[in-house]
């Protein structure tokens, strides 16, 4: 057995599917953010696999940018979670419908 790039991409796809399942089924915004992190990291793994396969650095640079995006997203997302918890008390993404109307 020779571990080629397709194995890394397969693991990345499975991780993406797990993260997607979490986003669909969980209701706590904290767990939603964790699931989004899993999906972002799965994309990073695919980017780096193809970067290795092509022998070019572009994919790694893009993966670094994705890491920065994920860090920013966590900062803003956790800020929103804390603000909502302070204001409303309960954290349930199905009940946070203040912006709907």
Partner 1 sequence: MTYDIVFIVASVVAIAAALMVVLSGNPFISSLSLIANLIALATFYILLQSDFLAAAQVIVYAGAVMIMFLFVTAYLGGRADEPTRQRPWWQTLAALVASAGIAAEIVFGVERESFLHGPVVSDAFGAPQAIAASFLGRYLLAFEGTSVMLLIAAVGGVVLATRRPAPRGADEPGAFEVEQPVRVQSLQSSVMQAETEFEIVRSGAGSDEKDAG
| Residues 55-74 contacting partner 1, CB under 8 A | 55, 57-58, 60-65, 67-74
Exposed e or buried b for every residue in 40-58, given b needs 16+ CB within 10 A? bbbbbbbbbbbbeeeeeee
Name every residue whose Cβ is closer than 8 Å to that of residue 4 and which is 6 or more positions away in sequence. Answer: none
Q: Is 51 in the site for partner 1 (CB under 8 A)?
A: yes
Q: Which is nearer to partner 1, 68 or 101 (CB)?
A: 68
How many positions of this chain bind partner 1 (CB under 8 A)? 74
Footprint on residues 1-20 left by partner 1 (CB under 8 A): 1-20
Residue 94 has what DSSP assignment? T
Instruction: Closer to partner 1 by CB, 33 or 100: give it.
Output: 33
């Amino acid at each position: 057995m020779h571990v080629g790039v397709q194995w890394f991409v397969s693991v990345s796809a499975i991780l993406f599917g797990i993260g997607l399942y979490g986003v669909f089924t969980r209701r706590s915004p904290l767990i939603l953010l964790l699931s989004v992190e899993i999906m972002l990291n799965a994309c990073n793994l695919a980017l780096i696999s193809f970067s290795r396969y092509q022998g070019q650095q572009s994919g790694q640079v893009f993966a670094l940018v994705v890491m920065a995006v994920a860090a920013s997203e966590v900062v803003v997302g956790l800020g929103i979670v804390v603000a909502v918890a302070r204001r409303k008390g309960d954290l349930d993404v199905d009940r946070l419908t203040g912006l709907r109307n």
